[in-house]
Amino acid sequence: MLAMAMPWLFVLELVMYAGCFVCGIIAAALLTITQGHFSGQCLLYGSVHYNTSTQSLDPDTFSSPSLCYFIAAISISVAICCFSFILYWAYSKCMGDRLQRETLWLNVTLGVCGVFLFFLLVSGCILRVGRDRLCLSVLQSMPLLDSCEQAENETWAYPYSGSQFYTGLHNTEKSVWVNFFFWVVIVAVVTVQRRWGSEFRVVGEDADWSSSETEPFFHRPSRPQ
């Protein structure tokens, strides 16, 4: 039962890596596109006002572009790491190598998980607070709006385009939190693998494995009594 459980846990771990890769790419792409609509400026923690002469929303302040670059860099780093893990284990499977996960490797994996969990938590909080600060400014500028999302239908001052500003930031935040959840699952899966055993075979190799293969070629003779 244990021999069958370990590969299934490993498959689940790989699926979580794939999910983290997709979420990382989506978060980085959406945030970059949103920045592009505002000439590369970062909307988080920004403020806007309603220009009555042009009847458009005009951004007053932006946060430093490095803030958005930081969040995008974290998402890309997560995606690259997950892709590397998947590629490495896929290569090992194709080469027919016996998958060995020693305690040191599992500890390193847990360390990587802890680092990414921390930075994803920071990124998610920055996105939530920064977006809420921006939306508060939007709603104060246009009290007739019921929600911040409705401001996407308003005219924005040239050269800015706010047709997807809320959707972009909201979906970026969702991708980051889903990514965070996937890493929590990975931590749980790796912890279980570390507890049950650090070495296992890929599904399909156990059928050819017999106890006779583990016996030494030469038996040491017993000592005479």
Would you write out the chain's pLDDT as a tens digit for each of its 225 residues?
434 444 788 889 899 999 999 999 999 999 999 999 999 999 999 999 998 888 889 999 999 999 999 999 999 999 999 999 899 877 777 776 555 566 777 888 899 999 999 999 999 999 999 999 999 999 999 888 889 999 999 999 988 999 899 999 999 999 999 999 999 999 999 988 888 764 444 444 444 434 444 444 334 455 554
d(Cα 190, Cα 131) in Å, to the nearest integer? 34
What's the pLDDT score for residue 96? Answer: 60
Pairing of strands 56-63, 42-51: antiparallel
User: Who's near 215: CB < 8 A, 6+ residues apart?
Assistant: none
d(Cα 109, Cα 106) in Å, to the nearest integer? 5
What's the pLDDT score for residue 206? Answer: 44
State the Cα angle at 39 between 36 and 45, rounded to 5°. 85
State whether the Cα torsion 214-215-216-222 is positive or negative: positive
What is the tens place of the pLDDT at every residue in 49-78?
A: 998 888 889 999 999 999 999 999 999 999
pTM of the model: 0.81
